[in-house]
Structure 1
């Protein structure tokens, strides 16, 4: 800092008194100090300087971005990560199908809120005998709709315990009419208990056979359909011969091969006098007759992580095209009449001698 003596070299003559000049300087410094205090208070109130044009044009943005730091915002309510039955679940093909059927019957106007009615219903009686309606026994379509109406939440949450798997769709299984009739006949004979929800995992090629002929017992012919093939057991018979299914969808995933489709089935297990299910071993349920189980839905899923490979889901149209191509590639059957002519022509010695003549060459010495 320079002292007052340094400025003595400048000659400055003023008409005012030196005391008055000092007084004016003191007033100026005092006013500047007051102005600086006011400006600091204004800066604290508004965190960002904004022009009048910005205030008029974008009021909402200014209000949000220029909130005082001391004011804390309210925390937004986050969804519970382990909520098994969220308020707004996915709408799959079955939901839309059954919703359309219900609207056709009731002639009501379709809305988004009413479409969620199937997905969000959870008040279902725990007693299976009470949940059986008389309309469900009239036809297979009515039974399937009623079965989905009761078990749709369990089906949608069946793979939530398995991390890295997402259900992409739940479709109606195109089951053959003969399989439907056999199951409905047994269902009408056993109306005291509601059918159980079970799952079945298998190969992609086996799904078409199951939908056409139903589930088959290994090494046994079908009791009513002579066209059904006789299959061989692949995964063993640790609990005896029969049709193996599982109460757990995660357990059935271990038996899936070359497909991302799981069969969702209804089973009518045999019970003893006390009503206890026979041939039930933990997650495994073994059925002794082909009419005791039927596939109702096709559950399509996908793996979210690269550690598991995703395979194509079952598609009936694609499978039919593949079978048509295989039929075209089959070898042509030749009749014996023409085959004999060909063989005689090939074994003709005169023809062979004329075709392949032995030529000798004489070398001159």
Structure 2
């Protein structure tokens, strides 16, 4: 007798089947018509108390010139910026243990902030912009989208309505706007929200071409128009060591959608409409009949 055991043929998964299971399409992908990206969302068993190794993501690319077509308006610039950096944006939070990116959305930044940023961008086109991240609490996101980033203890140079804020995490590298090249580093500053800001920064360079005020993963900017939030990353924790909060939601957008909704047409029959009109006419006649008339008395 033959002692060999014949194994059943295992069903092979085709390439497109594997992609369809793990690929994700975010809001920005649909708007900019980008292809889905495969993301690894395996749950890590590393404890949150263990230190996380953060590698420096400081760009070392040579001198680049931004083409004129991307400097015409803010929409073209943001589309081009996402086209170049969408892979980095999607994979950057994945370095954090047990995290899953749920969506990448457009940040509805105020038009005044857009104009100030595009003005500075047109004045400095020799270097390509840097991709940076900013983590903050939920209440600050609304203020950033309306007034842009603000320097603590200083009034905004052009917008008088912008509030004067106080530094919340100290000023280890002097006064300015703090951001990070690492999304993992910025996640440590997120408070009571599961939304992270993705920004474009215009750092200042010295005569050699080196970025000024850059300290490992931290980038400090000296002016409000040097940085602007472009996208919002929504995420969730997959372990039990972190608490999941609600993502940032804009109330103004829902109000706009309600205004634009088509109202249902109410049809009133002629019979009831005639009764209403007759009632109004009767009230007008009564008012005209019993109205008070002034009389003049002569001595």
Normalising by structure 2, report the TM-score.
0.71
1:142 match: 76
Q: Would the aligned equivalents of 2:132 and 2:201 in 1 still touch at CA under 8 Å?
A: yes
Partner of residue 155 from structure 2, selected from 212, 221, 227: 221
The higher-RCO structure (CA 8 Å, 6+ apart) is 2
| Separation (CA, whole Å) in 2 of partners of 1:294 and 1:86 | 34
Partner of residue 201 from structure 2, selected from 267, 270, 274: 267
Deviation at 1:316, TM superposition (A): 0.7
Deviation at 1:87, TM superposition (A): 11
2:95 match: 161
Deviations 1:66-88 (A, max 9, x none): xx824574795799xxxxx9996
Partner of residue 180 from structure 1, selected from 114, 128, 139: 114
Deviation at 1:256, TM superposition (A): 0.6
The yes-or-no answer on 1:93 pairing with 2:22 is: no
Deviations 1:185-206 (A, max 9, x none): 0000110111100000001000
Q: Would the aligned equivalents of 1:201 and 1:255 in 2 still touch at CA under 8 Å?
A: yes
| Separation (CA, whole Å) in 1 of partners of 2:64 and 2:121 | 15
2:226 match: 292
1:230 match: 164
Partner of residue 171 from structure 1, selected from 78, 81, 105: 105
| CA spacing shift, 1:170–1:139, aligned 2, 3 Å | same
Deviation at 1:129, TM superposition (A): 4.7
Deviation at 1:264, TM superposition (A): 0.2
| CA spacing shift, 1:88–1:146, aligned 2, 3 Å | farther
Partner of 2:23, secondary structure, is: coil
Partner of 1:307, secondary structure, is: coil
| Separation (CA, whole Å) in 1 of partners of 2:220 and 2:154 | 15
Partner of 2:196, secondary structure, is: strand
Partner of 1:234, secondary structure, is: coil
1:245 match: 179
The yes-or-no answer on 1:69 pairing with 2:5 is: yes
Deviation at 1:162, TM superposition (A): 1.1
Deviations 1:17-42 (A, max 9, x none): xxxxxxxxxxxxxxxxxxxxxxxx7x
- Aligned pair count reads 231
Deviation at 1:160, TM superposition (A): 1.5
| Separation (CA, whole Å) in 1 of partners of 2:184 and 2:122 | 31
List structure 1 runs of 4+ shifted beyond 3 angstroms.
70-79, 85-89, 126-131, 318-321
Deviation at 1:317, TM superposition (A): 1.2
| CA spacing shift, 1:253–1:71, aligned 2, 3 Å | closer
Normalising by structure 1, report the TM-score.
0.58
Partner of 2:232, secondary structure, is: strand
Q: Would the aligned equivalents of 2:65 and 2:127 in 1 still touch at CA under 8 Å?
A: no
| Separation (CA, whole Å) in 2 of partners of 1:137 and 1:166 | 33
Greater helix proportion? 1
| CA spacing shift, 1:165–1:176, aligned 2, 3 Å | same
Aligned positions of 1:201-350 closer than 5 A: 201-317=135-251
Deviation at 1:90, TM superposition (A): 1.3
1:346 match: none
Partner of 2:92, secondary structure, is: coil
Q: CA RMSD in A?
A: 2.9
Q: What stretches of structure 2 of length at least 5 have no aligned partner?
A: 39-59, 256-299
